[in-house]
Amino acid sequence: EIQNSNYVGFDLSTILKFSIQILFGLLILKNKKIIHCDLKPENILLIKKGKTGIKIIDFGSSCYTDQSQYEYIQSRYYRAPEILLGLNYGCEIDMWSLGCILCELYCGIPIFPGENEYDMIYYIMEYIGLPPKDLIEKSPKKLDFFNEDGKPLEKKNSLEKIK
């Protein structure tokens, strides 16, 4: 729908209607101990064109909260920090994705448009700041993103811009 409006975001009343329905859907999933694992705009469909009723689709990556956890989940722009850092996760990752989606619905563009995982962590740190030190220390991927002192590494992206 955003693509059809030349990447102009929705008004706040429409976003509120969408978010209430998505939150209700996520509450049902949490009560069933299910993590969607790939919440993104393409997986939220309008039931009827021109109306605000929605449904959440594509549970192909979903898992139960007590299952062994997948390492590579969530579409890139909506990937939670714990996934990027290789940490354990729960239903909270779907809430992270929802926050990213709501920003995108308002702005018309993704909030964290990283081209790879380092880019994603960089964008998140740029907006929110460094992850807590204990999370960095627990991360099996910490040396992919941080030096031994916990400071972010500087890397070039495909445009040779250092981040």
Q: Which residues are known catalytic residues?
A: 38
Which among 37, 29, 18 is positioned nearest to 75, based on CA atoms?
37
Which among 71, 83, 151, 150 is positioned nearest to 114, based on CA atoms?
83
CB 39 within 8 A of CB 2: no
> Which residue type sits at 43?
N
CB 12 within 8 A of CB 52: no
Structure tokens at 117: 């995982």
3-state secondary structure (DSSP) of residue 63: strand
